[in-house]
Amino acid sequence: MNSTRHEEFRAYVADRGPTLLRAAMRLTSDRAEAEDLLQAALAKTYLAWDRIHDRAAVDGYVRRAMANTQISWWRRKKLDIYPTDQVPDRPVDDHTRRAEMRDALGRALGRLPERQRLTVMLRYYEDMSEAEIADVLGVSVGTVKSTVSRAMARLRDDDALGDDFPGIPRQPRGATPWNPRHD
């Protein structure tokens, strides 16, 4: 019975997950928050799975759980905001600028050779260790280190980035990057 419940729920999520994620995106307008919101709603749905007798109503249950969770998160966040006459020391988060930076980084990564792009993605996006990457790619750890190093040097290079990152200081050619462990 319990394994049937797991399989049934797993099949539901596999089938309806993308549609529900789009609904979560409309509620949050941020992919990371949308994924968190959907996961929270699916966790609530899983706990109530045996009580939902009409399987056609599951989407409505999940959407209602997302809406309630979003409202709860909004109320909690609202309590952290206090009116003041002073301007904050830190700049306000600029979602548009972050989106532009993410797009520019994607373009810069797209200009890297395939092997360099793959190692950078595995290292920094998938957070894999050099040994794990070496195992996946079937190369030595030294090859992974040198490939990532060359890719990062190319990304730091003015020519590789072009004008995609205006306002961000770039490392001059031939300069050694600052390393806090060496100070």
Distance separating alpha carbons of residues 60 and 52, to the nearest angstrom: 11
Digit-coded pLDDT (tens) for 141-155: 999 999 999 998 888
What's the angle, vertex CA 139, arms to CA 136 and CA 143, rounded to 5? 120
The CATH number of 2-79 is: 1.10.1740.10
- State the Rg of the chain over Cα: 23
Residue found by looking up tokens 């548009």 in the block: 96
| Contact present, 133 and 122 (Cβ < 8 Å) | yes
What does the pLDDT read at residue 178?
45
What does the DSSP 8-state code read for residue 49? G
Please, what's the largest Cα pairwise distance for the chain?
A: 67
- The tokens for 129 are 């260790």
Segments of the chain assigned to CATH 1.10.1740.10 = 2-79
Q: What share of the chain has pLDDT > 90, as a percent?
A: 34
Q: Half-sphere exposure of 3 toward its Cβ, with a 13 Å CA cutoff?
A: 0
Residue found by looking up tokens 């929270």 in the block: 40
136-142 CB contacts, 8 Å cutoff, 24+ apart: none
The residues, ordered by sequence, that sit 6+ positions from 46 with a Cβ below 8 Å of its Cβ are 9
Distance separating alpha carbons of residues 150 and 152, to the nearest angstrom: 6
pLDDT at 158 over 80: no
pLDDT at 53 over 90: no
More confident residue, 176 or 45: 45
Q: Half-sphere exposure of 15 toward its Cβ, with a 13 Å CA cutoff?
A: 8
Digit-coded pLDDT (tens) for 118-133: 899 889 888 889 999 9
pLDDT at 17 over 70: yes
CATH domain 95-173 topology: Arc Repressor Mutant, subunit A (1.10.10)
Q: Which of 48, 33, 49, 42 is nearest to 13 (CA)?
A: 42
What does the pLDDT read at residue 173?
52
Distance separating alpha carbons of residues 122 and 73, to the nearest angstrom: 32
Segments of the chain assigned to CATH 1.10.10.10 = 95-173
What does the pLDDT read at residue 37?
93
Distance separating alpha carbons of residues 104 and 87, to the nearest angstrom: 30
